[in-house]
Chain A
Amino acid sequence: MQTGRFSQALKSEISAVREDRWMFAFVYWLPPLLSLFLLLILVAGQPTNLPIGVVDLDNSGLSRKATRYFDASPTMNVTRHYSSITEGKADISDATIYALVVIPSNFSRDVLRGGGPAITAFYNAQYLLIAKAMRAALIQIEATLAIEIDVGRTLVFKPVMQAAIATALPVRTQISPLYNLNMNYAVFLVPALLMALFQLLVICMTIMSLAKMVKTYETSHRKYQFGQLAGRFFFYTCVFSVHVLFSFFVLYGLLGWPVQGSLSGLLPLVFVFVIACQVLGAFIHVATFNLELSLSAASAFCGPAFAFFGVTFPASDMSHVAQIIRNLMPASHYLDAFYNHVSYDAGIYYSLKPGLIILAFAALTPLVIYRLKTRLRGAG
């Protein structure tokens, strides 16, 4: 009976994993532990209190006020004061400070005279994400400082606050960071990191389990049976789906990260994602039936997955080769649907397309079964 073989295979897989120390680790406790580690890395959410240095060549009330403005920004903290630029530059080179603000001599005088003096801010652009945050903060500080000085100057001859502000700021902007209101990096980086991790784990564990099955079948001259295969696979589908759902629970339940749509709509997608990874893993293995080779190939493919998701760098700006690789990964389609749900509440329609694409990986199943059938013909 198919069902008998199914449950028998399921049971034997559970006990096999329990007996193998390494399998046990990779299936049960490493996934949540690694997820926690990745979450902890980004727990701060936003680059804040980054150390910067100031070279104040003016030493006036106004220059000290400017220094206080830089210090007061949530993004940075003035931790060092230098008497010359050379001193400060050495500290940027070894990343003791991320930026160096230089206030020129006669800054205060030139402001009053109306020469439009310039404060120079050098910042480390090697660390791009930090640099972007730094630059945004610097521009904001400049605007605040300039307006405050300007309003003070204008009030002298236009003693109406509203008018003075309008003179200082002819056009105002209202900037709305949509869908991620407090610009929290963790909120969109962590799910992608987790999916890269889970994709790798599911594919590798599928290969491990399948290789073991093929080996025992070959030594005992048994014939391929679909029920046996399905039983084994079903175990991993369940375990890894639970891992993914548990990470949802931690992020959106315990930590209370914002969810625009409903998470329940994602439930079927999680299963489809795990199954797609399993089919892909099996496909890679049956190509050669060589354990080391297929594991290495799978790892080489999944290792840099995160870079191809299009989370840090827009997918639309990637080269064609990169887009092809991206489309070959179940996780990138899963993430498309995931962000549609979690950030945009885009409705079920928007997750249908990525869902169907992930489902398309199941089309590899007949190929996998064919390869297994021809390999495992049984005795004789």
Chain B
Amino acid sequence: MAHLKQEFLHIFTNVYVILVVFGGLLLYAVLYPQPYLNKLPLQQSVVVVDHDHTPASRRLIRYADATPQVQITDQVDSVSQARELLLDGQVRGMLVIPRYFERDLALSRSPVVGLAGDANFFLIYSTIIEGLATVVMTTGAVARVGELLVAGVPLKFAVKDWSPMHLNERPLFNVGMGYLGYVIPAVFVLILQQTLLLASGLVGTESKTKSGFSLASAGVLLGSRFLAMFIVYFLFSQFYMGVCFEYYQISRNAGVLDLYLMITAFLAASVALGMLLGLLLPGSEWAPPVVMVSSLPMAFTAGFIWPIELLPEPVFWISHWFPSTHAIQGFLKLNQMGAEFSQVLNHWWSLWALAVFFFAMSLFVLTRPDTVPKTVVSEM
């Protein structure tokens, strides 16, 4: 009990932990979602090159301007002028209507409308193309229905039969396909883990020696350190997955018990890794660079950005040593995708395996014979 109190004191008397880690946790909750608060990039500016200048082409432009995805901001006479605007960053995409568009449409010669966007920025690109392609398709459908009506097909059938089949595409889980609902539930798990590692790194290097402990005293030390950090972060995860998710309107489908089971396993693995990190670092000043440098690799191998099926074998293997990989997948499946707990058992067991492994490694480091010179922490 005295040990536990000691460890709590370690955490709460460490200025850096209080200021940077806990302060950072609160700050990140506000700061990190900032880029994505608008959720969807709509009303992207598009330039029109109209070579036709007919009622049909003007109708197409009006339709395009009316879609939520794009906004017609400029109209120029040549593609090269449109390219200039694109390079300047004034517009993000272009719509090119060919000459004789109206005539070809009436003669059923299927005119070709050009759509273009900067494909480097995939989110803008897909938004623009999606909006413009829908408009062009609608124009085509209107023309087709008109043709069918002329041929004597009743309106009721013409509207249905302009295409022989349709595709009903239904996005699941993040229904609006917004960016906030995509990034927050995954990245917040990573932020919890990384600040935890940072806190453990800053606290854990404080013990004067890192080897030569008896197994019993090492067990007591690590056990109480584990418990203290676990309790603190258990509370923080309530804040992140409760208050913050509620505020950002992130769906929470998981049952309470399932969620707590997953949080327990996730924190156990992360706290154990943090302890090991604290014991291995030469000084607490190394905790921030080590932890932060690992953030991007961890985020990109966790499966929510890039399909895990496409990761090369060695990368896939390494990613399984990060608690975040299993935790993010587990939490997303439970909380966002409505999976049963039995479907995330593999992630749950992996987290426990990591917890046991990292804890055992920490014990090993603390109890190994005192052959190496004692590493004394710099008194900065």
| Interface residues, chain A, with chain B CB atoms under 8 Å away | 21-22, 26, 30, 34, 37-38, 40-44, 47-51, 90, 92-95, 98, 107, 111, 114-132, 135-136, 138-139, 141-142, 145-146, 149-150, 153, 163, 165-167, 169-181, 183, 185, 187-188, 193, 196-197, 200-201, 204-205, 208, 211, 215, 290-293, 295-300, 302-304, 306-308, 310-314, 317-319, 321-322, 325-326, 339, 343-344, 346, 350
Contacts and interface: CB of A to CB of B under 8 A. Distances in A.
Contacts of A197: 293, 296
B289 interface: yes
B51 interface: no
A179 B94 CA distance: 13
B200 interface: no
Secondary structure of the A contact surface, majority rule: helix
Given A129-B122, A302-B292, 18 more contacts: A41-B300, A42-B300, A98-B307, A117-B166, A118-B167, A125-B172, A126-B172, A126-B173, A132-B122, A153-B164, A170-B105, A172-B113, A173-B112, A185-B122, A295-B289, A308-B35, A310-B35, A322-B37
B77 to A, nearest CB: 19
Interface stretch (B3-11, B68-76, B279-287, B356-364): B279-287
B343 A171 contact: no
Contacts of A297: 20
B86 interface: yes
Given A292-B202, A292-B284, A298-B288, A139 B167 contact: yes
B252 to A, nearest CB: 13
Nearest to B153: A114
A47 B173 contact: no
A128 B306 contact: no
B326 to A, nearest CB: 13
Given A37-B297, A126-B337, A185-B122, A121 B164 contact: no
Secondary structure of the B contact surface, majority rule: helix
A133 B102 CA distance: 33
Nearest to B129: A175
Contact of A325 (B34, B36, B166, B181): B34
Contact of A318 (B28, B34, B303, B306): B34
Closest 10 CB pairs of A and B: A177-B119, A125-B171, A142-B167, A296-B20, A299-B288, A322-B34, A94-B343, A180-B119, A170-B140, A128-B182
A114 B158 CA distance: 10
B164 A304 contact: no
B199 to A, nearest CB: 10
A146 B296 contact: no
Contacts, number: 344
A129 B202 CA distance: 36
Given A174-B114, A314-B124, A296 B198 contact: yes
B164 A95 contact: no
Contact of A178 (B86, B311, B312): B86
Interface string B1-45: 000000000000001100111001001100110111110010000
Contacts of B235: none
A146 B165 contact: yes
8 contacts: A40-B312, A107-B165, A115-B161, A128-B177, A138-B169, A142-B167, A187-B120, A296-B19
B49 interface: no
Interface string B86-128: 1100001000000000000100111111111111111111100
A116 B141 CA distance: 13
B333 interface: yes
A172 B198 contact: no
B122 A169 contact: no
B163 interface: yes
Interface string B244-281: 00000000000000000000000000000000000000
A125 B380 contact: no
A37 B315 contact: yes
Contact of B170 (A121, A180, A295): A121
A228 B194 CA distance: 36
Interface string B339-371: 110011000000000000000000000000000
Given A174-B114, A178-B116, A322-B34, A124 B296 contact: no
B305 interface: yes
B36 A313 contact: yes
